[in-house]
Amino acid sequence: KISYDENNAETDQATNTSIAGKLAADSDIDLVLAIATPSAQAAAQAITKVPVLFSAVTDPVDAKLVASNEAPGANVTGTSDMNPVDEQL
């Protein structure tokens, strides 16, 4: 059985932080999916006991979400939407 709780901060950082805090306090979650850099940053700061996956983050290293793309570390990982510009030259 799978259930999910969908939240939308609508680009408000205070709401992102509030949502992340609520999720961090919820002992009944197995995974958090954060879409976009501000949501991922709020989740990564607040949630340490369950995996946090992110998507639509251009540079997760620069956003301080992961230690490196090759070895993210901690409980945070995900996908980047960075365009591989160097490979296109």
Number of domains in the chain: 1
Q: What's the pTM value of the predicted model, to 2 decimals?
A: 0.90
Integer-rounded Cα radius of gyration of the chain: 14
SS3 87: helix
Q: Is residue 49 part of a domain?
A: yes
Instruction: Assess if residue 75 is contained within a domain.
Output: yes
DSSP state of 51: -
Residue 1 lies in a domain: no
**Tens digits of pLDDT across the chain (89 residues):** 899 999 999 999 999 999 999 999 999 999 999 999 999 999 999 999 999 999 999 999 999 999 999 999 999 999 999 987 777 66
Domain holding 68, by residue range, is 29-81
